[in-house]
Structure 1
Amino acid sequence: MEILAFIIIVLAVIGMQSLIFGKLAFKNLIYKCEFSVKEAHEGDEIFLVETVENRKVLPVPWLKANIYTSRWLDFAGARSVVNQESRYATSSFVLKSYQKIIRRWKVKCLKRGIYNIDTSTLVSGDLLSFRTNSMPVKVGATLKVYPAVVDFEQYFIPINYLQGERIVRRWIIDDPFIVSGAREYTPRDPMNRIHWRATAKEGRLMVRNNDYTSRLSLTVMLNIQSIENEYYNTIDKELVEYGIKVAASIFDSSLMSGAPVRFATNGTTIDDDGKMVFTEEAAGREHVSMLMEILAKLELKRVKDFQDFLSWMEGKIRNCDVIIITCYLTDAICEHVRELERLDNRISILLLKEPEGAKVPEDMNIYVLSTDSEKDYAVQA
């Protein structure tokens, strides 16, 4: 009888604790999950901060918080599970009466994008885990990861000088009203820049060598296609991602120089419902931050073929410096570039891949990504 009574008492205690802990585990329990910053860049290390507070006398014997986010936010190491584009991690706690615990996960931002943690799922139960309950908790944590800034001028070289000559520093924007000397004429120079006095003196055609300024406007065009016949999603995503980094670097340079800048692409952002990007021209930190956010939201899929996009751009920009970032060139693209040049735009083309067997036009400013940089972006990917 004593053994039976003991068994009954034990079962009663187990049942009672299961009822109490199972029912009251989430009562007066506060859970928060947030990023330590609102904005970051690719490669940055930040923190994901979890805060759990038990605001009652009854302790919580065990608590698990299930966190769902993007695979491109690298944290939790072996304790996280990566599946395609998502990452799943579990955080475990034991809370005494009226105890508050703050846990910080070190997070490395692997890729640009807008990342959200909408909800986390809390799981708890009794001491022996005979009874478990779960509860979703609204988190609402958002992180903007901007593209990394690269020293792109170090890696792009004039396509006619693939034997090692490097592109000169600060070639992007020069000022036709500030003359710092003369140099020999090249087929790329317009006739209105010929320096006749220097030509007569040297006995050969010379042009004005313009100095640099931050007052000219700049338009950056990005081709989201990696090959010509690409009808929807970008195929070579890593190469175009490097082009996005180059665009971010140009915007960063424009901020330091104070140059007005705008951005245009035949792609779209995740929240723009298939509409191509064509921003207003402006300068300043607020405008550049807006451009960086557009780059963070940019989807790797085209809205319009790039040559049709260039045709659409004709007449929309005049009298400005234009930088075209693209993976390839075609005869049709080159013709549209010439049309833009006839509108007094000075155009430079940054080729992300060396053309294979194609004849490169000699009347255009074309720079190609060097082999060293290709290795760099391959390692980053």
Structure 2
Amino acid sequence: MLIFLWFLVMTAVLLLAQKMIYQRFALRKVSYSRRFSRNTCFRGEEMTLIEQLANRKWLPVPWVSAESQLSAHLRFRTGDNFAVSSGSHYQNHKSFFSLKPQSKITRTHWITPQRRGWYRLHTVSLTSGDLLDIGRSVKQLPLSSELIVYPRPADVDMGQLPQHSWQGDVTVRRFIVPDPFVIAGARPYQAGDSYKMVNWKATARAGSLQVHQYDYTADRRLLVYLNVDDGEGMWRSVSDVELIEYGIEWAAGAVNCAIAAGMEAGFSTNMPLEGETNSVTIEPSGGHEQLYMILEAMAKLRLERTEPFPMLLRRGAEEGYRDRDILIISSYWNDELEAEAQRLRLSGNAVAIWELRMKEGSSDKEREGQSA
């Protein structure tokens, strides 16, 4: 009997001792990092989230739980050693580790962003304990990785975009691409140029890649306007989120189509960027950098109205926009918007209107305005 009591006492002492040791030292010299494998991607493009946990001491750590909150729009592949509990806006991601002395574990999770956005990792909570989970220790660490998810550009045909050119006093309708039969010379290759445009003779002379410089009858600058209002009479909050998200992807498709053809393109909307309050306007310009500047702005848009859409259109006319190809994307059209579109036409701009009527998976129809 005495031996049994002595055994119980010693067991209790050992359990208490290991509890105190692990409560104090379990997370000592334990480092953790979590980051996205890339800083940018397109909606629906699979990528990875990488976790690294290191134990830089001689005491083994029986178990560690790393828990953080992520957007519900980041869909994880199913896998072992982690659990995801998801709500409508956020999800809790919990990973489980067991660390040997002086060891490091790297774990990769495959994720697919379901919506464009600006996703940031803020903090992670590490929880660890002793062998029997009698006592626990908790530590919170800051995270700094971010992921910018671009909208996936819709498939837009060049013939859908507004178009105009000037020949004296006569307005002639034509595609906004350069005339491939009128070559004015050569210029250095730029990102987005087709290899069909390469001028091999000029390339040989210059010693660097040169492309044909096509002649224009007018400067081609596309400005895409997007209305955040999902219906006439909307006050501030968007109720049909999917419809406006679809509109963002159509706007991205129009910009992508124009810049891929060597044109200048810009973007304007009555929505703010995350952390800001003003409407977004990016003046038309060309090239790869301009495209990704616009895509990044679209990724960071907050679905909230900054001002009535007619005011945004009116400001363009008042600022003297001329000789532009203007595309307006809106979920509705009324007399007030038509009056502002007409002001832009009278200033010498070509205007086309796309009405958002259907959600993703359907085919939207274009209702094109009269060219100025």
TM bin (shorter chain)? 0.7 to 0.9
* Residue among 269, 279, 283 paired with 1:280: 283
Aligned to 1:90: 94
What pairs up with 1:140-151 in 2 under 5 angstroms? 140-151=144-155
What pairs up with 1:111-150 in 2 under 5 angstroms? 111-150=115-154
1:77 Cα deviation (Å)?
4.3
Aligned to 1:39: 40
What pairs up with 1:196-345 in 2 under 5 angstroms? 212-213=177-178, 216-272=220-276, 274-316=277-319, 317-345=321-349
Aligned to 2:30: 29
Aligned to 1:107: 111
Q: Per the alignment, in what secondary structure is the counterpart of residue 258 of structure 1?
A: coil
Q: Give the RMSD, CA atoms, in angstroms.
A: 2.3
CA separation of 1:85 and 1:370: change in aligned 2, threshold 3 A:
closer
Structure 2 Cα separation of the partners of residues 249 and 11 of structure 1:
69
Q: Per the alignment, in what secondary structure is the counterpart of residue 283 of structure 2?
A: coil
Aligned to 1:54: 55
- Share of identical aligned residues, percent? 28
Aligned to 2:367: none
Structure 2 Cα separation of the partners of residues 253 and 208 of structure 1:
19
Aligned AA (2:112): K
Aligned to 2:199: none
Deviations 1:18-69, CA, capped at 9 Å, x for gaps: 1112211111111100001100111011111000111111100000000211
Q: Per the alignment, in what secondary structure is the counterpart of residue 229 of structure 1?
A: coil
1:12 Cα deviation (Å)?
1.1
Structure 2 Cα separation of the partners of residues 84 and 103 of structure 1:
26
Structure 2 Cα separation of the partners of residues 328 and 211 of structure 1:
26
Conserved 8 A contact 1:71-1:83: yes
Q: Structure 2: 5+ residue runs without aligned partners?
A: 179-215, 365-372
1:175 Cα deviation (Å)?
6.1
Structure 2 Cα separation of the partners of residues 301 and 136 of structure 1:
33
Aligned AA (1:347): V
Structure 2 Cα separation of the partners of residues 45 and 229 of structure 1:
38
Aligned to 2:165: 176
CA separation of 1:231 and 1:370: change in aligned 2, threshold 3 A:
closer
Higher mean C-alpha deviation, range 12-21 or range 169-178: 169-178
Structure 2 Cα separation of the partners of residues 35 and 208 of structure 1:
47
Structure 1 Cα separation of the partners of residues 356 and 244 of structure 2:
8
Structure 1 Cα separation of the partners of residues 253 and 271 of structure 2:
19
Conserved 8 A contact 1:170-1:212: no
Whether 2:180 is the aligned partner of 1:192: answer no
Aligned to 2:75: 74
Q: Structure 1: 5+ residue runs without aligned partners?
A: 154-168, 179-189, 194-206, 355-368, 375-381
Structure 2 Cα separation of the partners of residues 192 and 220 of structure 1:
25
Q: Per the alignment, in what secondary structure is the counterpart of residue 140 of structure 1?
A: coil
Structure 1 Cα separation of the partners of residues 33 and 125 of structure 2:
11
Whether 2:21 is the aligned partner of 1:20: answer yes
What TM-score do you get using the length of structure 1 for normalisation?
0.79
Whether 2:6 is the aligned partner of 1:2: answer no
1:253 Cα deviation (Å)?
1.8
Aligned to 2:212: none
Q: Per the alignment, in what secondary structure is the counterpart of residue 63 of structure 1?
A: strand
Aligned AA (2:27): F
Aligned AA (2:248): I
Conserved 8 A contact 2:70-2:121: yes
1:372 Cα deviation (Å)?
3.1
Q: Per the alignment, in what secondary structure is the counterpart of residue 84 of structure 1?
A: coil
Aligned to 1:372: 362
Conserved 8 A contact 1:66-1:121: yes
CA separation of 1:210 and 1:25: change in aligned 2, threshold 3 A:
closer
CA separation of 1:209 and 1:90: change in aligned 2, threshold 3 A:
closer
CA separation of 1:238 and 1:119: change in aligned 2, threshold 3 A:
same
Structure 1 Cα separation of the partners of residues 147 and 333 of structure 2:
36
Deviations 1:160-180, CA, capped at 9 Å, x for gaps: xxxxxxxxx5342656269xx
Structure 1 Cα separation of the partners of residues 39 and 273 of structure 2:
19
Whether 2:156 is the aligned partner of 1:152: answer yes
Q: Per the alignment, in what secondary structure is the counterpart of residue 64 of structure 1?
A: strand
1:99 Cα deviation (Å)?
1.3
CA separation of 1:109 and 1:297: change in aligned 2, threshold 3 A:
same
Deviations 1:222-280, CA, capped at 9 Å, x for gaps: 011011100101122111111100111122223312211211111211122x2111223
Give the number of aligned pairs. Answer: 320
Conserved 8 A contact 1:224-1:267: yes
What TM-score do you get using the length of structure 2 for normalisation?
0.81
Conserved 8 A contact 2:177-2:263: no
